[in-house]
Amino acid sequence: MTVTHPLDNPVLSSLTGAHARFAERRGNVLRYQVDVAPFLALPDEPQEADWADAAGLVGPGGLLPLAGVRVPPPAGWKVVMVGEGVQMTGDRLVVAAEPEAVRLGCGDVPEMLDLVKRTNPGPFLPRTVELGMYLGIRRQGALVAMAGERLHPEGWSEISAVCTDDAWRGQGFATRLIRAVGAEIRARGDIPFLHAVATNPAIRLYEQLGFEHRRAALFAAARVPGARLPSQAG
């Protein structure tokens, strides 16, 4: 499996690089451990054996993410979601430290999961916090906004989980946290990037902050044929 640019297949780039310790592999297919992130890397043009390996990793009846894969799955698979998105790079992101930001860690995960549940910024699982640095802003002791890092292709770091409690919107927390996370990424010598659903109104904010469109992105998922056995239910 080869990648011409780290961002062309960022899941693969991450799992064969900085995030190799989180990888599960079967043949040419890699995925994150299931409590870390719901992402899986297939070859750009998967063959029959690759689909079989992906099915083996996910299991009968499981949901297979198809980010960036534009080849349809084999007969018998059911595509359950297709959405267009964008990949944006932050070479020109204006960064700045944020004095109010606090570092979040494993002890903050219950609050982080609760905030994600209420704001729905995208996938965030019990061990997602291990993928990179997360910053938050608190009010009256409660976590009301956060942002952090997810995928980590060589030379790049994805800003993700940008969210603010509805009661605290309009105070610029997202902007401040994106700039602060970006500052930490730049300090390591990496470049920030992000993904967004094409219809997300936050794209305008990202553009104002200095992010630029790199390419279109496809978000899709397919159901592996076959039902799970009762002993496999989780």
Residue 141 lies in a domain: yes
How far apart CA 152 and CA 171 sit, in angstroms, is 29
Domain contains 193: yes
Q: Tens of pLDDT along 167-217? A: 999 999 999 999 999 999 999 999 999 999 999 999 999 999 999 999 999
Say whether pLDDT at 3 is over 80.
Answer: no
Are 71 and 100 found together in one domain?
Answer: no
**2 occurs within a structural domain:** no
Using alpha carbons only, how large is the chain's radius of gyration in Å?
18
Same domain, 116 and 202: yes
Environment class of residue 146 by beta-carbon count within 10 Å: exposed (0-12), middle (13-18) or buried (19+)? buried
Instruction: For residue 170, tell me if it sits in a domain.
Output: yes
Please tell me whether residues 111 and 128 are part of one structural domain: yes
Does 169 reside within a domain?
A: yes
- Same-domain status, 127 and 225: no
- For the entire predicted model, the pTM comes to 0.91
Tokens of 180: 């602060």
Dist. CA 26–CA 222, nearest whole Å: 18
Asked whether residue 232 carries a pLDDT value surpassing 70, the answer given is no
User: Six-digit token pair at 215?
Assistant: 């390419």
Segment of 45-49, 71-75, 104-108 carrying the highest mean pLDDT: 104-108
Q: Does residue 79 sit in helix, strand or coil?
A: strand
Confidence of residue 227 (pLDDT cuts 50, 70, 90): low
Task: Kindly state whether residues 191 and 156 are assigned to the same domain.
Answer: yes
- Classify residue 107: in a domain, yes or no: yes
Is the pLDDT at 233 greater than 60, yes or no?
Answer: no
Same domain (yes/no): 106, 72:
no
Domain presence at residue 3: no
Check pLDDT > 70 for residue 234: no
Same domain membership, residue 157 and residue 97 = yes
Do 120 and 136 reside in the same domain of the chain? yes
- pLDDT-derived band at 231 (thresholds 50, 70, 90) equals very low
Percentage, residues of the chain above pLDDT 70:
95
The answer on 123 and 25 residing in a single domain is no
Domain match, 212 and 101 both: yes
Would you state the structure tokens that stand for residue 105, as one six-digit string?
């860690």
pLDDT greater than 80 at residue 102: yes
> Same domain, yes or no, for 226 and 159?
no
Residue 128 maps to which CATH number? 3.40.630.30
- Segments forming the whole domain that contains residue 135: 88-216
Are residues 38 and 106 both part of a single domain? no
Give domain status of residue 5, yes or no: no
Domain tally for the chain?
2
**Range with the poorest average pLDDT among 32-41, 77-86, 96-105, 140-149:** 77-86
96's CB contacts (< 8 A; 6+ apart) are 176, 179, 180, 183
